[in-house]
Structure 1
Amino acid sequence: MSDYADLVGQDIRLQLLRLLAQDSDYAVNDTVLGQGLRLLGHDLSNDRVRAELGWLEEVGLVTVQPVGPYRVAQLTQRGLDVAQGRARVEGVRRPGPGEL
């Protein structure tokens, strides 16, 4: 993967965490997350959204449960810490000071 593709992937993962952090119960389905990413400039296929959620689940930042045709991601405490810049995980862009 190119350096640019790595940077984009890191930003996508941060934005997914930040979208989940905005929800009252920290849980959102993959379709809504994809729509949120589009608003932020990342037009991804649903398969790519699911793949990124799978990556985030593997590193303990979210849990993912199938609900009908959807995958519902829920932020973990560690995921919230990363979204808010209190913790770092390689592969997720760190939010800048103006983003907190």
Structure 2
Amino acid sequence: MSDYNDFVTVDARLVILRALTEQPDGRLNDSLLADVLDAYGHHRSRDWIRQQLRYLADIGAVKNTDVNGIVVAAITRLGVDHVERRTELEGVKRPKIGA
């Protein structure tokens, strides 16, 4: 992976975690996450988004559920802790203070 692709990927993962923390129940499906990522300039395929959700699940930041072919991601305590700067997850951009 190139440095630019790495930069985009770690940033998109943070965008995903932040979007999940903003939801009352901490969940969004992959279609809605595509819309959120598009708003932040990350125009990626649904497959790419699902790859990122699998990565985030592998490191314990989210829990994914397949609902009739749609992936629903739910943030975990570890994912929230990363967004709130209580811990640092490898492969996910570190949030800025106050952002």
TM-score by length of 2: 0.96
Provide the rounded CA distance (Å) in 2 between the counterparts of 1:21 and 1:15.
10
Residue 96 of structure 1: aligned partner: 96
Q: Does 1:7 align with 2:7?
A: yes
In the alignment of these two chains, the number of paired residues is: 99
- Once the two structures are TM-superposed, the CA of residue 4 in structure 1 deviates from its matched residue by 1.5
The percentage of aligned residue pairs carrying the same residue is 39
Once the two structures are superposed, what CA deviation does each residue of 1:35-87 show, in whole Å capped at 9, x if it has no partner?
00100110110000100000000000000001123100000000011112221
Instruction: Name stretches of at least 5 consecutive residues in structure 1 with no aligned partner.
Output: none
* Unpaired runs of at least 5, structure 2: none
Aligned to 2:73: 73
Amino acid at match of 2:13: R
Corresponding residue for residue 64 of structure 2? 64
78-87 or 44-53, larger mean C-alpha shift: 78-87
Matched, 1:85 2:82: no
